[in-house]
Amino acid sequence: MSKITSLSTTQQEKLNTHCQKLHDFILHSGKDLTREEVESYIEWIYSKIGKPKPIILIFDSYLAQKVAINILNNNKFRESQVESQVWSQVRSQVRSQVESQVWSQVESQVRSQVRSQGLEFIEQSFGYGYESWWLTFTEYWKNEGIVKSDDFNSYLGLNRCGIWSIVYFEKSVFICKLPIKILKDERGRLHSVKSPSVQWRDGLDNYFIHGVGFEKDLWQKIVDRKLEPRELMKMPNTDQRFVALNHYGFERALTELAPKLIDQSKRGNKLYSIKFDAYTMKFLKYTDTVNGENRISFVKPEFDDADEAMAWKHNMTKNEYQNKLRVEA
């Protein structure tokens, strides 16, 4: 068989269609799974590494899986993980689009939730969340008749049951089902101001606004606009503060905070200061040169010159900024 060095236009179109179908399956199908579906596949994996069939534990959410793993790992008869054996005997890891767009965000939030309870976060990078790229690509070539492997078919079959994450131990395996629904914004970031962005069967959902994670109570207060602008400004997490203010409405929030105009340049840049409690924050108000819309951008509190602050925003000195404007004029 000759070596394939590039995809034809038809092959590329078919691959794109295949990738989209699997992407939709992982993120939007909400497929449930049963013990009967995965049992033979798990037994096959453990036979590959010379281990007896383990106890199979299935969970309805990523957080529930991690908490359950801690119960096992805090036991005095702590099991050894068999990750390296499964890794070397069954597959090698390749990162995926799903991981970059969804998995990393969900993992980050659940990691924080687990650690806030004094628990250990354990992940082995198995399951469709981590493995979708190579599984999708290889499945395409399987369908084209190029890849012919019973082992791959079995490993693919396991994931096709609907596995988001799976963690292997010597005598037990912990499986997390796919979410039932995932919501994203137009840029592919986890997002919803009406319901959880990542919805699990047991209700241990994940909440995001434009890719920024929130605990449920804080998310609810923000989407319902129950926090005053001063409370939003005090939020310690800068990403959360930004998206919260954006949802509330920057113009409205800043107006209610009664900002003080510090400097206005001939170019129309306006530098404002907001002071509350022991905090002082400064922001620029300017006109977008591309579409003419008003923009707001927070800057360092030490600035007292609007053009200097604008130059800093563009990683320039004030002289460089002024010279650039002269050239453009």
Pairwise CA distance, residues 56 & 174, whole Å: 6
The mean-pLDDT minimum among 28-32, 108-112, 216-220 falls in: 108-112
Ramachandran assignment for 315, one of left (phi > 0), alpha (psi -120 to 50 degrees), beta (any other):
left
Q: Which residue has the higher pLDDT, 318 or 82?
A: 318
The residue-averaged pLDDT of 37-47 equals: 95
Mean pLDDT of the region 223-243: 88
Interatomic CA distance for residues 29 and 15, integer angstroms: 20
The CA distance from 125 to 164, in Å, is 10
Query: Looking at beta carbons, which pairs linking 217-226 to residues 24 or more positions away fall under 8 Å?
Result: 222/247, 222/248, 223/193, 223/194, 223/247
* Contact by Cβ (8 Å): 78, 72: yes
Residues 6+ apart with CB under 8 A from 231: none
Q: Where are the alpha helices (DSSP H) in the chain?
A: 9-28, 35-48, 62-73, 83-90, 97-98, 104-116, 128-143, 150-160, 216-223, 229-233, 238-248, 250-256, 306-313, 318-328
Tell me the pLDDT band of 92, cut-offs 50, 70 and 90.
very low
The answer to whether the beta carbons of residues 178 and 31 sit under 8 Å apart is yes
Share of the chain above pLDDT 70, in %: 80
Best mean pLDDT range from 108-122, 157-171, 244-258: 157-171
Give residue 321's pLDDT band: very low, low, confident or very high (50, 70, 90): confident
Q: At what angle do helices 238-248 and 216-223 cross, to 10 degrees?
A: 30
Answer yes or no: is pLDDT of 222 > 90: yes
What mean pLDDT is predicted for residues 177-190? 91
Write out pLDDT tens, residues 107-136.
676 667 656 665 555 566 688 887 887 788
Strand partners, 263: 271
Q: Take residue 43 and report the two structure tokens written for it.
A: 């037994």
The pLDDT value recorded for residue 273 is 92
